Amino acid sequence: MNNPHVDVLIIGAGLSGIGAACHIKQNCKGKTIKILERRKAIGGTWDLFRYPGIRSDSDMFTLGYSFKPWKGEKVLANGTEIRNYVTEAAKEYGVTKDIQFGLKVTSANWDSSANQWVVEGVIEETGEQQTYTANFLMGCTGYYNYDQGYSPEFPGIKNFKGTVVHPQFWPEKLDYSGKRVVVIGSGATAITLVPAMADQAAHVTMLQRSPTYIASIPSVDPVSVVLKKFMPDSLVYKLGRARNIALQRLIFKLSKERPNAVKRLLLGATRARMGKNFDMKHFTPYYNPWDQRLCVVPDGDLFKVLKKGKASIVTDHIDTFVKDGIQLKSGDVLQADIVVTATGLDLQILGGMGLTIDGEPLHIGDVMSYKGVMMSNIPNFAMVFGYTNASWTLKADLASEFVCRVINHMDAKGYNRVMPNAEGVSPDGSPMFDLDAGYMKRAADRLPKQGPVAPWTIENNYLADRPRLKKGEIEDGVLEFSVVKTGAASKAKPKRAEKAAA
């Protein structure tokens, strides 16, 4: 039996993978695609995470796809709503039939002589091995390990007689009603869990080593509610998307150029929410705004449960777990029946699959990212990553559109191989993500690197990326195009333009 062959093979059926497939369906007419998904459902992150209150930390005007308006009223949608939205997109664009569920991809090898990718996987339920070949490979797996989250080695944790839960693996029937809950962490997951659990739990304590900047936003966009009365949803979506893109960029830019002013603004808003007697040390980080990702809460839900006394924040370090809770460095003991370790992610690229070129192992941490989409010296390959300082989908959309442009250009010119040529350029050592977050620091060696000059640099700026990826020159002097006769070791002289793109 021949191995199934497609024009474009996509790894992952989450927000990025479904988006990429929809873009190809729209912009690369006639191309065959296949999506390989380890899970048994569409959704990726939004299918995996099922903890209480799970929601987006980006507004749906920008987390939604460019080609599919978000019609819900919530600014920050919950996990089920996002999963349903992605599933709807797959159905609307005829993508669902192209998904192979339950297949864990284990390796991908570029075969130069055949000018194609050979991708190996295993159907986890049966152990059956499966092989696909493809002209072009897209990694749309996100950047964390689905098999394990990150949990530090907590001293004495075996002494604790209660229940320890990591949000990534939330027990379906966990009963926390009337229980004392301690949530360890201060990021987006922790600030979502605390208000979501507070009504049923006896008390919820958020234990943090250091604070995070937290901003309150409306749960429903009042402007869009009014506009929907006399405008079609598609137009309201476009207007809201443009407005929020501009606002995101403005806030990020101000945070970098005038950090003290933005800090005063954020802390002032929190002070107004919490009152003059609240100890602001719990919301005053040691770093400047947007050195780490800014967290948002809908309608100030976290602040509300804190003021009502249903929840509390403790800023301290763990000394050791004890039988009935956590002893802190200060000597205090937090009583707990349930401890939730919202301590972060274990970063992983390409879902952990091995990547080789003609059988030679390739370490992604050694390559440079070309325009944040393709990788140096890897043929017919792209990885879709979103923004870290704005909504993920903004960059994912642009990346997929750029891949479509490259594929169409190859068809028009008769090429069958493309590769960003990094000859004479060396990485500058900085990873493609520049957040000062723990999970990024722990995995810096696993991330693609940036180079010293464009197009090897990454700005994380939608307003700059949009014209470059949607309209910029394809043959820019860096992308190397070739015509390869399959089965032959030699190839035609690569086509490289003399002029670099802007």
DSSP states of 73-87 = SBSS-BHHHHHHHHH
Rg (CA), the chain: 24
pLDDT of residue 160: 96
Burial 15-27 (b: 16+ CB within 10 A, else e): bbbbbbbbbbbeb
What is the rounded CA–CA span in Å between residue 367 and residue 456? 10
What is the rounded CA–CA span in Å between residue 268 and residue 413? 58
In-domain check, residue 337: yes
Q: Are residues 116 and 196 in the same domain?
A: no
Closest CA to 66 of 474, 462, 370, 472: 462
Q: What CA–CA distances, in Å, run from 207 to 190, 340, 437? A: 9, 10, 18
Q: Are residues 267 and 206 in the same domain?
A: yes
pLDDT of residue 2: 63
Q: Are residues 366 and 386 in the same domain?
A: yes
Q: How many domains does the chain have?
A: 2
In-domain check, residue 491: no
Q: Are residues 264 and 397 in the same domain?
A: no
Q: Which of 287, 312, 343 is the last residue of a domain?
A: 343
pLDDT of residue 378: 96
CB contact set of 461 (below 8 Å; sequence gap of 6+): 249
pLDDT of residue 28: 97
pLDDT of residue 273: 93
In-domain check, residue 487: no
Q: Helices 15-27 & 392-413, crossing angle to 10 degrees?
A: 40
Q: Which of 343, 377, 402 is the last residue of a domain?
A: 343
Structure tokens at 82: 């996002």
Residue 197 is classified by DSSP as H
Q: Are residues 258 and 179 in the same domain?
A: yes
Give the global pTM. Answer: 0.92
Please report the beta strands in 283-438, taking only residues with DSSP state E, as ranges in sequence order.
295-298, 311-315, 318-322, 325-328, 333-335, 338-341, 345-347, 354-357, 360-361, 369-370, 374-375, 381-383, 417-420
Q: Which domain holds residue 331?
A: 151-343
Q: Are residues 14 and 142 in the same domain?
A: yes
Under-70 pLDDT residues of the chain? 1-2, 429, 431-444, 487-502
In-domain check, residue 490: no
Please report the beta strands in 12-101, taking only residues with DSSP state E, as ranges in sequence order.
33-37, 99-101
CB contact set of 356 (below 8 Å; sequence gap of 6+): 107, 108, 109, 110, 362
330 burial via Cβ count (<10 Å: 0-12, 13-18, 19+): exposed
pLDDT of residue 312: 96
3-class state of residue 192 by DSSP: helix
Check if the beta carbon of residue 386 is closer than 8 Å to that of residue 395.
yes
Q: Which of 327, 343, 359 is the last residue of a domain?
A: 343
In-domain check, residue 99: yes
What is the rounded CA–CA span in Å between residue 449 and residue 347? 15
3-class state of residue 62 by DSSP: helix
pLDDT of residue 494: 47
pLDDT of residue 499: 36
Q: Are residues 231 and 359 in the same domain?
A: no
CB contact set of 44 (below 8 Å; sequence gap of 6+): 12, 13, 14, 15, 16, 17, 86, 142
What is the rounded CA–CA span in Å between residue 104 and residue 106? 6
Q: Are residues 128 and 270 in the same domain?
A: no
Q: Are residues 78 and 183 in the same domain?
A: no
290: left (phi over 0), alpha (psi -120 to 50) or beta: left
pLDDT of residue 446: 73
pLDDT of residue 225: 92
CA atoms within 13 A on the CB side of 80: 3
What is the rounded CA–CA span in Å between residue 109 and residue 88? 33
In-domain check, residue 193: yes
For residue 497, give the amino acid letter: A
DSSP states of 199-264 = TTSSEEEEEESS---EEEE-SB-HHHHHHTTTS-HHHHHHHHHHHHHHHHHHHHHHHHHSHHHHHH
The domain that holds 338 is classified in CATH as 3.50.50.60
> What is the 3-state composition of the chain as percent helix, strand, coil, each rounded to the nearest 5?
30, 25, 45
